[in-house]
Structure 1
């Protein structure tokens, strides 16, 4: 059973296509109340029995959003993708309505820049971010990859031989490779936090943080 969030304030998802629909369902799974809104009655009908409330409405219409109570919410997601104009107008309208936290989906960097300029507090580029993530994983050296900022990433990788049978303090990876190992996993044992006394063995999996180039270089070591 999903854990009930600490805050019961519903979340509105505007645009119920692949991104918005998947996000709305995941929020429901996590225990949130979700209001789904889309101009396409088919998209709304497909999710109507799964969301807390679903409505057909033009998200660029201020009165329609007010009637649905969107202006009273803390978190609103603009999941509109291909209709860039509707995405920008909807985001701008939410800004005018003083919504405290607006997350918007962009389909290009230019689109993302405009969304930020009209008031989006957080912008995601799902296709670009997934492509970048897979690019780092495709060689098999990095098992998972998350970009936390332009110059800071977190990666899951097999322990390279340079640290095998050594403590992290002895390896001094911050100095030698400009990365930090924050967690370690041994076969059959859950991930645990590391200390300077942690010894790395063959077969261990590491969680490493640092700038993208350094993390990639460290994961590529044999």
Structure 2
């Protein structure tokens, strides 16, 4: 942690010397909790060019992942003073990836909100945990195990190739085009009025995905991406 604080001070002095350049915090994120979810997320963010600060109370985890992340530190983020010393209040994004200790997750999230971090994500281990985080004011709450289980259930029980559900009962599905919409332009197939879905993309064998338009003619064997209310896209996918 001491080494990180020294490097943090150096970066602060450097930023002050370049006030007219883009703020370094635009691409910085603190990931608090380096379990399987937190480490996987931190590494993906690193691959996308983000400056990642990985934090955990477990020194063994911090040591294990220190070579792969931009910065790491052993830190108890339930203490708001620790977050302040690490400069997390200056970050534009933070992720609370703590899963095994609900109380710690809530305390850390509360500290981040108190520090006015603009964009806070938090992992929830249950719906009740998620509701508490939402009531605190956490901007984004995710239930990775539940969401993955629900997604796989749709793929196992239906004819979908992929399924993503958003808020407000809205979903996006990849599926093989049913015969009832092939060989005619999408505008004439009336899929929106008949089935309550919109075809937004199409992929032919050996070709890349392209945007679908009213003039697009879907052929047998094409893979399409459709959006709409969850029940509508589920029903449509079963027509394949």
User: How far apart, in 1, do the equivalents of 2:164 and 2:114 lie?
Assistant: 33
- How far residue 150 of structure 1 moved from its aligned partner, in angstroms, is 3.2
Q: Indicate if the aligned counterparts of 1:115 and 1:123 stay in contact, CA closer than 8 A.
A: yes
Q: Indicate if the aligned counterparts of 2:158 and 2:237 stay in contact, CA closer than 8 A.
A: no
2:159 to 141, 160, 165: 141
Secondary structure at 1:138 match in 2: helix
Where in structure 2 are the equivalents of 1:1-222 lying within 5 Å? 8-9=24-25, 10-139=28-157, 141-222=159-240
Secondary structure at 2:157 match in 1: coil
User: How far apart, in 1, do the equivalents of 2:116 and 2:48 lie?
Assistant: 26
User: How far apart, in 2, do the equivalents of 1:155 and 1:198 lie?
Assistant: 18
What's the CA shift string for 1:25-65, capped at 9, x where partnerless?
00001111100000011111111011111000101011111
Over alpha carbons, which structure has the higher Rg? 2
What's the CA shift string for 1:97-128, capped at 9, x where partnerless?
11111100001111011011112100000001
What's the CA shift string for 1:168-198, capped at 9, x where partnerless?
1111111100000001000011001111111
Secondary structure at 2:62 match in 1: helix
Aligned length: 217
Secondary structure at 1:197 match in 2: coil
User: How far apart, in 1, do the equivalents of 2:186 and 2:90 lie?
Assistant: 50
Aligned to 2:8: none
User: How far apart, in 2, do the equivalents of 1:36 and 1:20 lie?
Assistant: 8
Q: How much is the aligned-residue C-alpha RMSD, in angstroms?
A: 1.2
Secondary structure at 2:150 match in 1: helix
Aligned to 1:3: none
Runs of 4+ in 1 over 4 A off after TM superposition: none
User: How far apart, in 1, do the equivalents of 2:75 and 2:140 lie?
Assistant: 23
Q: Indicate if the aligned counterparts of 2:184 and 2:217 stay in contact, CA closer than 8 A.
A: yes
Report the TM-score, using the length of structure 1 for normalisation. 0.95
Distance change in 2, residues 1:140/1:151 (3 Å):
closer
Report the TM-score, using the length of structure 2 for normalisation. 0.88
